[in-house]
Structure 1
C-alpha cells in the first residue's frame, strides 16, 4: 500500500523580522504530493505587508483568492499562519541572535555547553572556543592539519574532542586551549565521533569504513567495532535499549518528509516540548513535535545548508554554510 501525501509547506523570506512598516515580505508555498511534486501549479507566492509592529496583512496586489491560509499572529519574534485546508499552523521563528564574526567560511561543526561556551570548526581551517553570551573568542585551537569534521564537549564541559580530515583524534582543554592527547589509527578522514557514557571511551567512524572504540585514559584503540571494507561511514550515535530495536526497512523519502531537500542534521529536544529539530540542505529548519497541528520553522538562512543543529537545554543553535551561527528560543513561538 502506497501512502498518499498531500501537504502544503511554507517558506518565509529569511530576513522577514528586519522588515520595516509598510514594507513587503514574501511567502512561498508548495503543495507536496508524492505522485506529482514537480508540478509548478502546486507552487504559489504571496506578498505580506507590515502595517505596524503587531499587525501584518496579505498585500492587495497578490490576494489570497483561494483562502489558502489566514494570519494568526505576528511580532518581530514569530509569524504564525494557519493553512486552511490542513488546519496546520505554521510558526516562523526569528533568531534571537546571529553570530557572524567567529569564522570566515562555512561552519562544519558546532557544540554548545549549558554554560554558553561554544566550540566550532570551519572550512576556513580554524577551530575556536567562544562565548555565546558575550560573543568573545576565548581560544583558537591549533593542531589539526586539515579541516575538523566534528568537535564536541565531553559531559564535564571542560574537555573537547575533535576529529578531522587529517585522520587525527585530539583531546583539548576547554579551560586553557591546550591539547594533551592526540590519537592515530584511521587510514582515512574521520567523519564523526560519539562519546561513551561520561567520556572514558569514544567511538570514531571514518572514510576507511572502520568504527573504532578508543580508551581516552590509555590513549589507545581498544578494538575495531566493525569494518565495512572501505565503505565510508558518515555518522555514529549511541543509544541504550533494553534488548534490541528494529529500525525497520528503508522507505522512499518522498512518502514521509514534508521537505524535498536532503536532511543534514537532526536532534531531539525536551523543552518546551518533546520533539525533533531537522535541518535541510535548502536551509530550512523544522521542529516536529506531538502536536501535529503545529509546525515550527526556524528562519534566517537564505537557502544556505544548515550543517549542524545543537541544543543546550534552553536554546537551539544552527551552523550554516554562510559562516553564521544562529541562536533560537522556541518559547518565542508561543509568547
Structure 2
C-alpha cells in the first residue's frame, strides 16, 4: 500500500510506502543492528535485550538464538565477538566499540571506538594489526571502499604485515564526534582529507570510488567528491533528527533517522520513497 503526495509549486513529491509485514516477536526490546543474507533468505539482528537472533526473512521464524557480550549487541557482527573480549580485557580499546567494517573478503576487519581510534584486525589470529587512525575524538562510524585512481593515498612508513590482506588502494572513512569526516589511506595510514560538518558525524558510506555520503546529528546528509572535499556536492536535510544509518541502494541511497524517518533517494525516481510504520521510534539501521 502506498500514497503519493506532491507539491507542484515546490516541485517536491514523496511516496509513503506501508510495510507488507511486521515481525513483532523476534526481540522484546530495541533492535540496535540488523543485516540480511546475500540471498535475502535470512536476517540477523541484535537487541538491547542482550540477544542476537537469526531468523527467516519470509516469516520471521527464529532459527538461532544467542546471548553475547555487549559488544555484539552494539555492533551486530558475530565474527568480532572476540574483539569485544579483547577490549574488555584492556588489551586494545580503552572504550566501547561503535562500528565495524569488513575488508575485501573478510580476512581483515576494521573497528572504531569511543577512544578515538580505528584499528585493523587479523581474523585468523584474532590479533590487532595496527591503529589506522587516532583522532582524539570518538569515531561513531566507519566505511571502507576502493579509492579513485587519481587520489593520492600516501605511502606506508613501514612495510605492511603479511597478514594484512586487501588494504591496497582502499580508503577508510571516519565519522567523528568532533564534527569531522576524515579519509585515511587504509594501507598507508596517511590522512587523505578532512571535512568539517555542521554537527557530529554519526555514519558514512561509499556511493562509488568517487562519491561518498555522511550523516550528522542535526539531520544533514552530505554528499562529497573525495577528489575535492572543500565543498559538498549537495546537502540533503529532511528533518532535524540525527541521521543514524546510510546504505547505498541502486543509483541512490537509503537513510534512517532518530525520529523514525526512513527514506530512499534514487536518481531515476522523481519522488522520494518514505518507508512508514516506525512512527517516532529511532531507526538505528537499514
Tell me the TM-score normalised to structure 1 length: 0.57
Query: Aligned pair 1:134/2:59, yes or no?
Result: yes
Distance, in Å, in 2 between the alignment partners of 1:260 and 1:142 is: 35
Query: Aligned pair 1:220/2:127, yes or no?
Result: yes
Q: Computing the radius of gyration over CA atoms, which structure comes out larger, 1 or 2?
A: 1
* Secondary structure, aligned partner of 1:130: strand
* Deviation per residue, 1:117-165 (Å, 9 max, x gap): 111111111111111123111111233156621124xxxxxxx42459x
1:296–1:143 Cα change, 3 Å: closer
Equivalent residue in structure 2 for 1:90, among 5, 11, 14: 14
| 8 Å Cα contact 1:109/1:307 also seen in 2 | yes
* Secondary structure, aligned partner of 1:186: coil
Equivalent residue in structure 2 for 1:277, among 254, 257, 260: 254
Distance, in Å, in 2 between the alignment partners of 1:250 and 1:144 is: 33
* Secondary structure, aligned partner of 2:132: strand
Distance, in Å, in 1 between the alignment partners of 2:194 and 2:248 is: 17
> Gapped runs of 5+ residues in structure 2?
152-191, 200-218, 221-234
- What are the equivalent positions in structure 2 for 1:144-155 lying under 5 Å apart? 144=69, 148-152=73-77
The aligned counterpart of 1:168 is 85
Equivalent residue in structure 1 for 2:97, among 190, 200, 212: 190
Distance, in Å, in 2 between the alignment partners of 1:196 and 1:89 is: 38
Please state how far the C-alpha of 1:238 moved relative to its aligned partner.
0.3
Output the aligned Cα RMSD: 2.8
* Secondary structure, aligned partner of 1:204: strand
Please state how far the C-alpha of 1:290 moved relative to its aligned partner.
1.4
> Gapped runs of 5+ residues in structure 1?
1-76, 153-159, 171-181, 310-335
- What are the equivalent positions in structure 2 for 1:38-117 lying under 5 Å apart? 77-115=1-39, 116-117=41-42
* Secondary structure, aligned partner of 1:99: coil
The aligned counterpart of 1:298 is 275
1:80–1:223 Cα change, 3 Å: same
Distance, in Å, in 2 between the alignment partners of 1:162 and 1:103 is: 21
Distance, in Å, in 1 between the alignment partners of 2:138 and 2:94 is: 11
Distance, in Å, in 1 between the alignment partners of 2:91 and 2:109 is: 13
Aligned length: 210
Distance, in Å, in 1 between the alignment partners of 2:10 and 2:245 is: 27
The aligned counterpart of 2:45 is 120
The aligned counterpart of 1:250 is 197
Distance, in Å, in 1 between the alignment partners of 2:94 and 2:144 is: 23
Query: Aligned pair 1:259/2:231, yes or no?
Result: no
* Secondary structure, aligned partner of 2:285: strand
